[in-house]
Protein backbone atom coordinates (compact mmCIF):
# COMPACT_ATOMS: atom_id res chain seq x y z
CA UNK A 1 0.00 0.00 0.00
CA UNK A 2 1.41 3.40 -1.00
CA UNK A 3 1.86 6.28 1.42
CA UNK A 4 -1.00 8.22 -0.13
CA UNK A 5 -3.27 5.18 0.08
CA UNK A 6 -2.33 4.84 3.74
CA UNK A 7 -3.20 8.49 4.30
CA UNK A 8 -6.62 7.91 2.74
CA UNK A 9 -7.41 5.18 5.23
CA UNK A 10 -5.79 6.92 8.19
CA UNK A 11 -7.47 10.17 7.23
CA UNK A 12 -10.87 8.57 7.83
CA UNK A 13 -10.13 7.98 11.49
CA UNK A 14 -11.89 10.27 13.99
CA UNK A 15 -9.89 13.39 14.74
CA UNK A 16 -9.53 15.91 17.52
CA UNK A 17 -10.34 19.29 15.93
CA UNK A 18 -9.77 22.69 17.56
CA UNK A 19 -12.27 24.86 19.31
CA UNK A 20 -14.23 26.73 16.59
CA UNK A 21 -13.68 30.43 16.52
CA UNK A 22 -10.44 30.11 18.44
CA UNK A 23 -8.39 31.41 15.54
CA UNK A 24 -5.55 29.85 13.59
CA UNK A 25 -3.22 29.77 16.59
CA UNK A 26 -5.30 26.98 18.11
CA UNK A 27 -5.55 24.86 14.96
CA UNK A 28 -3.64 21.99 16.48
CA UNK A 29 -5.25 22.05 19.90
CA UNK A 30 -7.34 19.20 21.23
CA UNK A 31 -11.03 19.63 21.72
CA UNK A 32 -11.96 19.84 25.40
CA UNK A 33 -15.65 19.62 26.12
CA UNK A 34 -17.70 19.08 29.22
CA UNK A 35 -20.16 16.21 29.61
CA UNK A 36 -22.94 16.32 27.03
CA UNK A 37 -21.57 19.40 25.30
CA UNK A 38 -21.72 19.23 21.51
CA UNK A 39 -19.39 20.77 18.99
CA UNK A 40 -20.67 23.53 16.75
CA UNK A 41 -20.88 22.29 13.15
CA UNK A 42 -22.68 25.35 11.77
CA UNK A 43 -21.19 26.87 8.59
CA UNK A 44 -19.11 30.05 8.73
CA UNK A 45 -18.99 32.76 6.04
CA UNK A 46 -15.91 33.37 3.89
CA UNK A 47 -16.01 37.03 4.99
CA UNK A 48 -14.64 36.10 8.41
CA UNK A 49 -11.33 35.16 6.78
CA UNK A 50 -11.08 37.01 3.45
CA UNK A 51 -11.43 40.75 2.89
CA UNK A 52 -13.25 40.59 -0.44
CA UNK A 53 -14.67 38.34 -3.13
CA UNK A 54 -14.59 38.88 -6.88
CA UNK A 55 -15.81 37.13 -10.03
CA UNK A 56 -13.13 37.49 -12.70
CA UNK A 57 -14.31 37.29 -16.31
CA UNK A 58 -12.06 35.62 -18.87
CA UNK A 59 -12.69 35.80 -22.61
CA UNK A 60 -12.20 32.67 -24.71
CA UNK A 61 -13.27 31.13 -28.01
CA UNK A 62 -16.64 29.97 -26.69
CA UNK A 63 -17.54 33.13 -24.78
CA UNK A 64 -16.90 34.26 -21.23
CA UNK A 65 -15.89 32.17 -18.24
CA UNK A 66 -16.24 33.51 -14.71
CA UNK A 67 -13.75 32.54 -12.02
CA UNK A 68 -14.46 33.15 -8.34
CA UNK A 69 -11.56 34.53 -6.29
CA UNK A 70 -11.28 35.51 -2.62
CA UNK A 71 -8.76 38.19 -1.68
CA UNK A 72 -6.97 39.70 1.30
CA UNK A 73 -4.08 42.10 1.76
CA UNK A 74 -3.05 45.21 -0.17
CA UNK A 75 0.78 45.13 -0.30
CA UNK A 76 3.56 42.69 -0.97
CA UNK A 77 3.75 39.69 -3.32
CA UNK A 78 0.59 37.87 -4.38
CA UNK A 79 0.17 34.35 -3.06
CA UNK A 80 -2.03 32.65 -5.66
CA UNK A 81 -3.65 29.67 -3.93
CA UNK A 82 -4.89 26.61 -5.84
CA UNK A 83 -7.04 24.04 -4.01
CA UNK A 84 -7.15 20.26 -4.35
CA UNK A 85 -9.65 18.19 -6.30
CA UNK A 86 -13.19 18.46 -4.96
CA UNK A 87 -12.26 21.30 -2.62
CA UNK A 88 -12.56 25.05 -3.27
CA UNK A 89 -10.77 28.32 -2.57
CA UNK A 90 -12.45 28.32 0.85
CA UNK A 91 -10.09 25.55 1.93
CA UNK A 92 -7.48 28.32 2.26
CA UNK A 93 -9.58 30.49 4.58
CA UNK A 94 -7.89 29.78 7.93
CA UNK A 95 -4.45 29.68 6.29
CA UNK A 96 -5.14 33.13 4.81
CA UNK A 97 -5.81 34.65 8.21
CA UNK A 98 -2.63 33.00 9.53
CA UNK A 99 -0.26 34.10 6.74
CA UNK A 100 -1.59 37.66 6.55
CA UNK A 101 -0.71 38.11 10.23
CA UNK A 102 2.89 36.98 9.66
CA UNK A 103 4.15 38.60 6.45
CA UNK A 104 3.19 41.46 4.19
CA UNK A 105 1.48 39.82 1.24
CA UNK A 106 -1.66 39.67 -0.85
CA UNK A 107 -3.88 36.60 -1.09
CA UNK A 108 -5.78 35.46 -4.17
CA UNK A 109 -7.54 32.13 -3.61
CA UNK A 110 -9.04 30.78 -6.84
CA UNK A 111 -11.93 28.38 -7.46
CA UNK A 112 -10.61 26.20 -10.28
CA UNK A 113 -12.94 25.25 -13.13
CA UNK A 114 -15.62 22.76 -12.17
CA UNK A 115 -15.20 23.69 -8.50
CA UNK A 116 -16.72 26.11 -6.03
CA UNK A 117 -18.53 29.10 -7.52
CA UNK A 118 -16.54 29.28 -10.78
CA UNK A 119 -18.75 29.12 -13.89
CA UNK A 120 -17.24 28.02 -17.21
CA UNK A 121 -18.67 26.87 -20.53
CA UNK A 122 -16.99 23.47 -20.33
CA UNK A 123 -16.72 22.49 -16.67
CA UNK A 124 -15.90 18.88 -17.59
CA UNK A 125 -12.52 19.73 -19.15
CA UNK A 126 -10.23 19.39 -16.15
CA UNK A 127 -7.05 18.63 -18.06
CA UNK A 128 -3.82 19.97 -16.59
CA UNK A 129 -3.25 22.05 -19.74
CA UNK A 130 -6.68 23.71 -19.59
CA UNK A 131 -6.54 24.47 -15.88
CA UNK A 132 -3.00 25.84 -16.13
CA UNK A 133 -4.17 28.16 -18.93
CA UNK A 134 -7.07 29.21 -16.68
CA UNK A 135 -4.61 30.31 -14.00
CA UNK A 136 -2.62 32.36 -16.52
CA UNK A 137 -5.80 33.90 -17.94
CA UNK A 138 -7.08 34.88 -14.50
CA UNK A 139 -3.75 36.56 -13.67
CA UNK A 140 -3.88 38.47 -16.96
CA UNK A 141 -7.51 39.49 -16.42
CA UNK A 142 -6.76 40.75 -12.91
CA UNK A 143 -3.43 42.50 -13.50
CA UNK A 144 -3.01 43.09 -17.24
CA UNK A 145 0.48 43.18 -18.76
CA UNK A 146 2.21 44.19 -15.51
CA UNK A 147 1.31 41.64 -12.85
CA UNK A 148 2.88 41.97 -9.40
CA UNK A 149 5.35 39.36 -8.10
CA UNK A 150 3.39 36.11 -7.68
CA UNK A 151 4.06 32.91 -5.78
CA UNK A 152 1.99 29.87 -6.75
CA UNK A 153 0.91 27.63 -3.87
CA UNK A 154 -1.11 24.49 -4.58
CA UNK A 155 -2.46 21.56 -2.62
CA UNK A 156 -2.75 18.08 -4.15
CA UNK A 157 -4.35 18.54 -7.60
CA UNK A 158 -3.83 22.29 -7.18
CA UNK A 159 -0.13 21.68 -6.54
CA UNK A 160 0.10 19.75 -9.81
CA UNK A 161 -1.68 22.57 -11.65
CA UNK A 162 0.68 25.11 -10.06
CA UNK A 163 3.66 23.17 -11.41
CA UNK A 164 2.13 22.86 -14.89
CA UNK A 165 1.40 26.61 -14.84
CA UNK A 166 4.96 27.44 -13.79
CA UNK A 167 6.64 25.08 -16.27
CA UNK A 168 4.60 26.56 -19.13
CA UNK A 169 5.61 30.13 -18.18
CA UNK A 170 1.98 31.21 -17.98
CA UNK A 171 2.65 33.65 -15.11
CA UNK A 172 5.40 36.04 -16.25
CA UNK A 173 6.06 37.52 -12.80
CA UNK A 174 6.38 34.19 -10.99
CA UNK A 175 8.89 34.32 -8.13
CA UNK A 176 8.25 31.11 -6.21
CA UNK A 177 6.44 27.78 -6.21
CA UNK A 178 5.05 25.65 -3.38
CA UNK A 179 3.50 22.17 -3.56
CA UNK A 180 1.59 20.82 -0.57
CA UNK A 181 1.37 17.05 -0.08
CA UNK A 182 1.55 16.02 -3.71
CA UNK A 183 4.29 13.75 -5.06
CA UNK A 184 4.20 12.01 -8.41
CA UNK A 185 5.19 8.56 -7.19
CA UNK A 186 2.67 8.21 -4.37
CA UNK A 187 -0.06 9.99 -6.35
CA UNK A 188 0.31 7.61 -9.28
CA UNK A 189 0.31 4.60 -6.92
CA UNK A 190 -2.88 5.83 -5.28
CA UNK A 191 -4.87 6.29 -8.48
CA UNK A 192 -5.83 2.61 -8.61
CA UNK A 193 -7.64 2.86 -5.28
CA UNK A 194 -9.07 6.35 -5.78
CA UNK A 195 -12.42 5.16 -7.14
CA UNK A 196 -12.91 2.90 -4.12
CA UNK A 197 -12.09 5.82 -1.86
CA UNK A 198 -14.65 8.02 -3.60
CA UNK A 199 -17.31 5.30 -3.48
CA UNK A 200 -16.81 5.11 0.25
CA UNK A 201 -17.94 8.71 0.74
CA UNK A 202 -21.58 9.61 1.36
CA UNK A 203 -23.31 10.91 -1.75
CA UNK A 204 -25.74 13.25 -0.03
CA UNK A 205 -26.15 15.12 3.27
CA UNK A 206 -29.16 16.25 5.29
CA UNK A 207 -27.71 19.74 5.78
CA UNK A 208 -24.53 21.78 5.69
CA UNK A 209 -24.08 20.96 9.36
CA UNK A 210 -24.21 17.24 8.55
CA UNK A 211 -21.61 17.69 5.80
CA UNK A 212 -19.30 19.58 8.14
CA UNK A 213 -19.74 16.98 10.87
CA UNK A 214 -18.98 14.15 8.45
CA UNK A 215 -15.84 15.88 7.16
CA UNK A 216 -14.44 16.22 10.68
CA UNK A 217 -15.45 12.82 12.03
CA UNK A 218 -14.24 11.00 8.92
CA UNK A 219 -10.91 12.81 9.12
CA UNK A 220 -11.15 14.44 5.68
CA UNK A 221 -10.58 17.74 7.48
CA UNK A 222 -9.20 17.38 11.00
CA UNK A 223 -9.61 21.02 11.93
CA UNK A 224 -13.20 21.94 12.81
CA UNK A 225 -12.58 25.65 12.31
CA UNK A 226 -11.47 25.07 8.73
CA UNK A 227 -14.22 22.54 8.01
CA UNK A 228 -16.92 25.05 8.97
CA UNK A 229 -15.90 27.40 6.17
CA UNK A 230 -14.33 24.93 3.71
CA UNK A 231 -17.21 22.46 3.34
CA UNK A 232 -19.51 25.25 2.13
CA UNK A 233 -17.44 25.25 -1.06
CA UNK A 234 -17.51 21.48 -1.46
CA UNK A 235 -21.24 20.77 -1.33
CA UNK A 236 -24.32 22.30 -2.91
CA UNK A 237 -28.08 21.95 -2.76
CA UNK A 238 -29.35 19.13 -4.94
CA UNK A 239 -30.67 20.26 -8.29
CA UNK A 240 -33.93 19.18 -9.93
CA UNK A 241 -34.87 15.52 -10.04
CA UNK A 242 -33.28 13.81 -13.01
CA UNK A 243 -33.28 10.07 -12.43
CA UNK A 244 -34.13 7.58 -9.71
CA UNK A 245 -31.26 5.31 -10.70
CA UNK A 246 -28.91 4.45 -7.88
CA UNK A 247 -31.18 5.91 -5.21
CA UNK A 248 -30.88 2.80 -3.02
CA UNK A 249 -27.10 3.24 -2.83
CA UNK A 250 -27.33 6.68 -1.27
CA UNK A 251 -26.01 6.65 2.26
CA UNK A 252 -26.40 8.96 5.19
CA UNK A 253 -23.78 11.69 5.29
CA UNK A 254 -23.40 11.72 9.02
CA UNK A 255 -21.75 9.72 11.77
CA UNK A 256 -24.22 9.91 14.63
CA UNK A 257 -23.11 11.15 18.07
CA UNK A 258 -22.85 8.33 20.58
CA UNK A 259 -25.15 10.06 23.02
CA UNK A 260 -27.92 10.48 20.44
CA UNK A 261 -30.52 7.74 20.66
CA UNK A 262 -32.52 8.31 17.51
CA UNK A 263 -31.43 5.30 15.51
CA UNK A 264 -34.14 3.06 16.94
CA UNK A 265 -37.07 5.24 15.94
CA UNK A 266 -35.52 6.00 12.55
CA UNK A 267 -35.07 2.31 11.76
CA UNK A 268 -38.69 1.60 12.74
CA UNK A 269 -39.92 4.36 10.42
CA UNK A 270 -37.68 3.06 7.67
CA UNK A 271 -39.08 -0.47 8.01
CA UNK A 272 -42.62 0.93 7.99
CA UNK A 273 -41.95 2.80 4.74
CA UNK A 274 -40.48 -0.31 3.18
CA UNK A 275 -43.55 -2.33 4.24
CA UNK A 276 -45.84 0.30 2.71
CA UNK A 277 -44.07 -0.01 -0.64
CA UNK A 278 -44.32 -3.78 -0.85
CA UNK A 279 -46.33 -4.85 -3.87
CA UNK A 280 -45.54 -1.71 -5.86
CA UNK A 281 -43.63 -2.05 -9.15
CA UNK A 282 -39.84 -1.89 -8.68
CA UNK A 283 -39.61 1.26 -10.83
CA UNK A 284 -42.18 2.99 -8.63
CA UNK A 285 -40.36 1.91 -5.47
CA UNK A 286 -37.08 3.33 -6.82
CA UNK A 287 -38.78 6.60 -7.71
CA UNK A 288 -40.37 6.94 -4.27
CA UNK A 289 -37.06 6.20 -2.58
CA UNK A 290 -35.38 8.78 -4.79
CA UNK A 291 -37.99 11.43 -4.00
CA UNK A 292 -37.67 10.75 -0.27
CA UNK A 293 -33.88 10.93 -0.50
CA UNK A 294 -34.07 14.29 -2.25
CA UNK A 295 -36.30 15.55 0.53
CA UNK A 296 -34.22 14.17 3.41
CA UNK A 297 -30.77 14.76 1.92
CA UNK A 298 -30.87 18.06 -0.01
CA UNK A 299 -27.07 18.55 -0.23
CA UNK A 300 -24.60 16.77 -2.48
CA UNK A 301 -21.04 17.24 -3.76
CA UNK A 302 -20.45 20.13 -6.15
CA UNK A 303 -18.29 17.98 -8.41
CA UNK A 304 -18.37 14.26 -9.13
CA UNK A 305 -14.68 13.48 -8.85
CA UNK A 306 -15.17 9.93 -10.09
CA UNK A 307 -16.02 11.33 -13.53
CA UNK A 308 -12.68 13.16 -13.77
CA UNK A 309 -10.66 9.93 -13.78
CA UNK A 310 -9.44 10.37 -17.36
CA UNK A 311 -7.51 13.47 -16.28
CA UNK A 312 -5.80 12.05 -13.19
CA UNK A 313 -2.82 10.60 -15.03
CA UNK A 314 -2.20 13.91 -16.80
CA UNK A 315 -2.18 15.83 -13.53
CA UNK A 316 0.56 13.76 -11.91
CA UNK A 317 2.65 11.89 -14.49
CA UNK A 318 6.05 13.56 -14.90
CA UNK A 319 5.25 15.99 -12.08
CA UNK A 320 8.49 15.50 -10.11
CA UNK A 321 10.74 16.35 -13.03
CA UNK A 322 8.55 19.31 -13.99
CA UNK A 323 8.78 20.61 -10.42
CA UNK A 324 12.56 20.18 -10.30
CA UNK A 325 13.01 21.89 -13.69
CA UNK A 326 11.24 25.12 -12.69
CA UNK A 327 14.05 27.71 -12.37
CA UNK A 328 12.62 29.48 -9.33
CA UNK A 329 12.85 28.94 -5.55
CA UNK A 330 10.66 25.97 -4.60
CA UNK A 331 9.08 24.68 -1.41
CA UNK A 332 7.59 21.23 -0.80
CA UNK A 333 5.42 20.66 2.27
CA UNK A 334 4.51 17.07 3.14
CA UNK A 335 2.48 15.29 5.78
CA UNK A 336 5.08 12.50 5.89
CA UNK A 337 8.61 11.93 4.60
CA UNK A 338 7.55 8.53 3.20
CA UNK A 339 5.72 10.38 0.43
CA UNK A 340 8.97 11.32 -1.35
CA UNK A 341 9.62 9.49 -4.62
CA UNK A 342 13.06 8.75 -6.10
CA UNK A 343 13.37 11.89 -8.25
CA UNK A 344 12.40 14.22 -5.43
CA UNK A 345 14.63 12.40 -2.95
CA UNK A 346 17.62 12.95 -5.22
CA UNK A 347 16.59 16.55 -5.91
CA UNK A 348 16.20 17.28 -2.22
CA UNK A 349 19.66 15.85 -1.48
CA UNK A 350 21.05 18.11 -4.22
CA UNK A 351 19.42 21.15 -2.64
CA UNK A 352 17.12 21.88 -5.57
CA UNK A 353 14.20 22.77 -3.32
CA UNK A 354 13.35 23.36 0.32
CA UNK A 355 11.31 20.68 2.04
CA UNK A 356 9.49 20.57 5.33
CA UNK A 357 7.53 17.70 6.87
CA UNK A 358 4.50 18.57 8.98
CA UNK A 359 3.58 15.41 10.92
CA UNK A 360 0.27 14.61 12.58
CA UNK A 361 -1.65 16.02 9.61
CA UNK A 362 -4.00 14.41 7.14
CA UNK A 363 -3.77 14.99 3.41
CA UNK A 364 -5.37 18.46 3.76
CA UNK A 365 -2.24 19.79 5.46
CA UNK A 366 -3.08 23.48 5.05
CA UNK A 367 -6.47 22.92 6.68
CA UNK A 368 -5.34 20.58 9.45
CA UNK A 369 -2.37 22.74 10.46
CA UNK A 370 -2.87 26.22 8.92
CA UNK A 371 -0.50 27.91 11.38
CA UNK A 372 2.36 25.52 10.67
CA UNK A 373 1.88 25.87 6.92
CA UNK A 374 1.68 29.67 7.26
CA UNK A 375 4.88 29.66 9.31
CA UNK A 376 6.69 27.55 6.71
CA UNK A 377 5.51 29.74 3.81
CA UNK A 378 6.28 32.96 5.69
CA UNK A 379 9.79 31.72 6.51
CA UNK A 380 10.32 30.78 2.85
CA UNK A 381 9.20 34.24 1.69
CA UNK A 382 11.43 36.04 4.19
CA UNK A 383 14.43 33.77 3.54
CA UNK A 384 14.30 34.68 -0.16
CA UNK A 385 13.51 38.32 0.64
CA UNK A 386 10.20 38.13 -1.20
CA UNK A 387 8.23 39.62 1.71
CA UNK A 388 8.69 41.51 4.97
CA UNK A 389 7.66 40.10 8.35
CA UNK A 390 4.95 41.84 10.35
CA UNK A 391 3.55 41.55 13.84
CA UNK A 392 6.92 40.55 15.29
CA UNK A 393 7.02 37.26 13.35
CA UNK A 394 10.28 35.40 13.92
CA UNK A 395 11.54 32.95 11.27
CA UNK A 396 12.37 29.42 12.32
CA UNK A 397 14.50 27.98 9.53
CA UNK A 398 14.01 24.23 9.08
CA UNK A 399 16.88 21.84 8.76
CA UNK A 400 15.87 20.54 5.35
- Please tell me which residue, 103 or 243, carries the higher pLDDT value: 103
What is the bridge-based pairing of β-strands 78-82 and 63-72? unpaired
The model's pTM is: 0.79
Taking only the tens place, the pLDDT of each residue in 146-167 is 999 999 999 999 999 999 999 9
Residue 70 CB partners (closer than 8 Å, separation 6+): 46, 50, 52, 53, 54, 89, 90, 92, 93, 96, 107, 108, 109
Q: What is the pLDDT of residue 398?
A: 58
Q: What is the pLDDT of residue 253?
A: 38
Torsion-angle region of residue 251: left (phi > 0), alpha (psi -120 to 50) or beta?
A: beta
Percent of the chain with pLDDT over 70: 76
Catalytic residue, chosen from 15, 363, 366, 371, is 363
Give residue limits of the domains in the chain: 47-193+316-389
Eight-class DSSP state of 260: -
240, pLDDT greater than 90: no
Q: 336 pLDDT band (50/70/90 cuts)? A: confident
Residue 265 CB partners (closer than 8 Å, separation 6+): none
Q: Which of 9, 341, 308 is nearest to 189 (CA)?
A: 341
Catalytic residue, chosen from 15, 91, 156, 226, is 156
256, pLDDT greater than 60: no
181 noted as active-site residue: yes
109, pLDDT greater than 70: yes
Q: What is the pLDDT of residue 23?
A: 40
Q: Considering only 117-126, 217-226, 279-288, 326-335, which range has the smallest mean pLDDT? A: 279-288
Taking only the tens place, the pLDDT of each residue in 17-51 is 333 333 443 343 334 444 556 889 999 999 999 99
Q: What is the pLDDT of residue 251?
A: 37
For the chain, the average pLDDT equals 82
The whole-angstrom separation of Cα 183 and Cα 335 is: 11
Q: What is the pLDDT of residue 291?
A: 52
Q: What is the pLDDT of residue 288?
A: 54
199, pLDDT greater than 70: yes
Q: What is the pLDDT of residue 242?
A: 43
CATH of domain 47-193+316-389: 3.40.50.1820
- Please tell me which residue, 178 or 396, carries the higher pLDDT value: 178
272, pLDDT greater than 50: no
Catalytic residue, chosen from 65, 111, 181, 371, is 181
As a dihedral over the C-alpha atoms of residue 338, residue 343, residue 344, residue 349, rounded to 10 degrees, the angle is: 100
Q: What is the pLDDT of residue 37?
A: 67
Percent of the chain with pLDDT over 90: 62
Q: What is the pLDDT of residue 2?
A: 39
Q: What is the pLDDT of residue 340?
A: 79
Q: What is the pLDDT of residue 15?
A: 37
- Please tell me which residue, 121 or 7, carries the higher pLDDT value: 121
Taking only the tens place, the pLDDT of each residue in 59-83 is 887 789 999 999 999 999 999 999 9
145 noted as active-site residue: no
The whole-angstrom separation of Cα 323 and Cα 159 is: 10
155 noted as active-site residue: no
- Please tell me which residue, 176 or 342, carries the higher pLDDT value: 176
246, pLDDT greater than 70: no
Amino acid sequence: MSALEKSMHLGRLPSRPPVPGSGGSQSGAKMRMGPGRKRDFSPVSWSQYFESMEDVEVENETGKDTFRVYKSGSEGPVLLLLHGGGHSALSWAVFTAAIISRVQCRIVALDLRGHGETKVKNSEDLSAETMAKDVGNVVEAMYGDLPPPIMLIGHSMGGAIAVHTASSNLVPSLLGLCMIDVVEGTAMDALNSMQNFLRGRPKTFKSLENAIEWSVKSGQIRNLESARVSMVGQVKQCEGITSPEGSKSIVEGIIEEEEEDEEGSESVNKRKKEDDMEGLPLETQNLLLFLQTKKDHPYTWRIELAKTEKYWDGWFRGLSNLFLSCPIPKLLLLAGVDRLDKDLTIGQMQGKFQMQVLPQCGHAVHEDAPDKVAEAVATFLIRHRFAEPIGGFQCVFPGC
